[in-house]
A and B are shown apart, each in its own frame.
Chain A
């Protein structure tokens, strides 16, 4: 693609994101039109002194739907970005926070802190959980005799199964009422009940990690032909790899603390975007974030809409799209797996 075509495509993605966000806010049991959404937002930003929107409808838009939409956009962007970065660093097209067990580890860390009452530290627990799972996955693949895509995934599956079982057990043991719903929302992911604090956490994590990752785009490009080639291009291979893996674990931890272990976003989105813009990370990473955000927003909106008034865990929607795509990716890379 030429440079001007890229600029146009990026502008189109931003427009699509904005339009999707406004549409998603209008969607729900209370019938709210786009004009009311805009009025409410502008009112709260102080740009319109008097809002004609009723207080109830204002609260539905501002306190319920908008934080959830922003959380969905952020979680989608964050998970997709973490996936793209991990794929480049490990030279593993199948790497993804969910398949490598980071998401389940993060969910376990989060649930453990919820249970002991340290709710304020849940994001920290999730970060430590995702970091521990990443360390374990890498250690296990080393013990198996070096990293290959399949070994990494197998290690991830076993870690994920263990962490998910532990998560389920902790919830089952501690919950007084209907623990299954809560288990499901951590294991399959759900964005219901997202608050402005959640939205701010997600946005904060992205604002810390994304600029660092995007600025490392050339370094990630250098990994295309392996560590030695990257080192010969002046990249501090060990340092860059650890810093970026740490940032990926942080990003995953925060996203899971807010949305639970939502799967396949980090796998499917970067692969789809690569088909369009190629593997150059200066384009890939920003485009992956935009597409991830839009994808997650629509997945969450579908999860709300499909069985209205009952809500589907959003991870079911992403898995319905992601699992077949995972198979296609396996087919494409069957030579190396």
Chain B
């Protein structure tokens, strides 16, 4: 039941390491949250798993496969990525954006999406409740709708590992909960989810596992209730916070910046 396993990962983009000897695990079929202040190295770490840059050292395995050693297209058939509010100036319809998710599956010379591609694109759109939008221009959609299209594009990749970089930061609360509901249903289908996020209350209540990063290092890892203590929040974020028991569960209330 191994999921994503990162061991001894060090990433440098020319200067001092941005990610420094990181070990972390994202258990298979679970939602793992990656939290930490700005500049902690969360996005860089996800970018490396996606294949954007090569690490200085370390290994990344997923269910036994060496992700960094895999051919790029093979990796893209295994693992999909959604970032925060990605926009484009291109004239693309929603259906065309979702079809981008099939790029790793088609040979370069293919004349168009084959029936299997179209089927998984349509399924992905309908799962996000976006079927009616297929013919619309992507640029004309609201931020929340655009993010759902990105999620549909990722689903069209039929990933076993889904990486998300602050996918909910630009969404209203309804949009955020919709994204988490979708992630939960993917996780129950054995998809492994690793997401960087800022909202500690969502991390506390919606994630199964948490990894806390600061200054390029992992400073805590474990079940959210055990990891997100008042002490840790003070140490990592420099914020005085209290964890109180709300009517339906724990809530983090922030007091002041220390």
- Residues of A participating in the B interface, judged by any CB pair closer than 8 Å: 3, 88, 91, 93, 215-219, 221-222, 224-229, 231-237, 274-275, 278-280, 282, 333, 336
Contact in complex: A228, B50 (CB < 8 Å): yes
B107-126 to A contact mask, C-beta < 8 Å, 1/0: 01111100000000000000
Contact in complex: A333, B89 (CB < 8 Å): yes
Contact in complex: A234, B108 (CB < 8 Å): no
Q: List 8 A-B contacts (CB under 8 A).
A: A3-B112, A222-B100, A225-B87, A231-B52, A234-B72, A234-B104, A279-B96, A282-B112
Please name the residue on chain A nearest to B72 by beta carbon.
Answer: A234
Q: A215-B108, A233-B101, A234-B103 are in contact. Are A228 and B52 (CB under 8 A)?
A: yes
Contact in complex: B76, A228 (CB < 8 Å): no
| B106 sits at the interface (CB 8 A) | yes
**Closest 6 A/B residue pairs (Cβ):** A234-B76, A232-B81, A279-B90, A234-B73, A234-B104, A225-B86
B105 CB, nearest partner CB in chain A, Å = 9
Contact in complex: B89, A93 (CB < 8 Å): yes
Contact in complex: B106, A232 (CB < 8 Å): no
- By DSSP majority rule, is chain A's interface helix, strand, loop, or mixed? helix
Contact in complex: A278, B52 (CB < 8 Å): no
Contact in complex: A224, B90 (CB < 8 Å): yes
Contact in complex: B52, A279 (CB < 8 Å): no
| B75 sits at the interface (CB 8 A) | yes
Q: Could you say which residues of chain B place their CB within 8 Å of the CB of A280?
A: 92, 96
Please name the residue on chain B nearest to A234 by beta carbon.
Answer: B76
Which residue from B72, B77, B80, B109 sits with its C-beta under 8 Å from A235?
B72
Please name the residue on chain B nearest to A3 by beta carbon.
Answer: B112
Q: A229-B86, A232-B76 are in contact. Are A224 and B108 (CB under 8 A)?
A: no
Whole-angstrom distance between the alpha carbons of A221 and B96 in the complex? 9
Q: Could you say which residues of chain B place their CB within 8 Å of the CB of A224?
A: 88, 90, 92, 97, 100
Contact in complex: B109, A215 (CB < 8 Å): yes
Q: A232-B50, A232-B80 are in contact. Are A221 and B103 (CB under 8 A)?
A: yes
Q: Could you say which residues of chain A place their CB within 8 Å of the CB of B77?
A: 234
Whole-angstrom distance between the alpha carbons of A138 and B73 in the complex? 28
B74 CB, nearest partner CB in chain A, Å = 8
| B178 sits at the interface (CB 8 A) | no
| B93 sits at the interface (CB 8 A) | yes
Whole-angstrom distance between the alpha carbons of A233 and B73 in the complex? 7
Q: Could you say which residues of chain B place their CB within 8 Å of the CB of A282?
A: 111-112
Q: Could you say which residues of chain B place their CB within 8 Å of the CB of A93?
A: 89
Please name the residue on chain A nearest to B79 by beta carbon.
Answer: A232
